[in-house]
Amino acid sequence: MSFFSKLFGFSSQNTEEAKSKDEPVMYEGYAIVPSPDKADSGQWRLSGYIKKLNENPDDPEMERFFLRADTFPTREEAVEFTVRKGRQIIDEQGKRLFANGEPTGRA
């Protein structure tokens, strides 16, 4: 491991854990995919994706990434609250999340 990786708290294990996505949770025609991020403090930061489920397989897949400053002591708690936040975003924004037609973006 390099000096800079140690200095900034990066390791291959933390990077792999942070990149892994959990199983999607279906809600109101969307898929919420929790993807908690390991924070520098050793806690887990709330983050995930909302994916639009396409009825037509020829339509491009669309997703919106969301990240919040909230941190949690365990990955399981971060996943739980990520799903809650995803539901809240869908309830508040609904179809407007994907109104611009871009395949990816931020919620």
- Among 91, 10, 103, 5, smallest CA distance to 63 is for 103
Higher per-residue confidence, 43 vs 106: 43
**Sequence spans of domains, the chain:** 23-99
CATH topology assigned to domain 23-99:
Double Stranded RNA Binding Domain (3.30.160)
* 51-67 pLDDT per residue, tens: 998 888 788 889 999 99
CA angle 76, 7, 47 (to 5 degrees): 25
